[in-house]
Amino acid sequence: MNKKVIFGIIGFFLGFPISYYFQPEKLRAMLSMTDYLQSIPKLASSDKGDFLTPIIFSCLISTAIFVFIGYLLDQNNKNVIVAKPQKRYCGNCGHQIDEDYPGEFCDQCGHKLD
Ligand SMILES: [Zn+2]
């Protein structure tokens, strides 16, 4: 799965707690965040629209923002040139040569390194 999908899912679920802040003050005065999240299914099924709208709204916004962040991260990953230093091995004895070994010859067997 790419980051856009993962972030989109995270964003969607974050939309629920975020929607709390878009609810009318009256509702927030009655319910704590925890109570609110627990009563979403109950409230949503008996709703006339004014309760669900903030949830849909914040889920969409939050999903969009997170997909965008995921998109940016995907782009960054693409732009990074993977410049892992190549490991060097002696062609004769297979001894691993240190990256910064300055010599021309294998320090193990004396074979000339390419
Ligand atoms: Zn060698």
Q: What is residue 80's three-state secondary structure?
A: coil
Predicted TM-score (pTM) of this structure: 0.61
Residue 110 has pLDDT above 70, yes or no: yes
Q: How much distance in Å is there from the Cα of 84 to the middle of ligand 1? A: 23
Q: How much distance in Å is there from the Cα of 97 to the middle of ligand 1? A: 9
Q: How much distance in Å is there from the Cα of 83 to the middle of ligand 1? A: 26
Q: How much distance in Å is there from the Cα of 82 to the middle of ligand 1? A: 28
Tokens for 53, please give them: 């709208």
Helices 3-19 and 33-45, packing angle to 10 deg: 90
Spatial neighbors of 7 by CB under 8 A, at least 6 apart, are 66, 67, 69, 70, 73
- If pLDDT is split at 50, 70 and 90, which confidence band does 49 have? low
Q: How much distance in Å is there from the Cα of 88 to the middle of ligand 1? A: 11
- If pLDDT is split at 50, 70 and 90, which confidence band does 98 have? confident
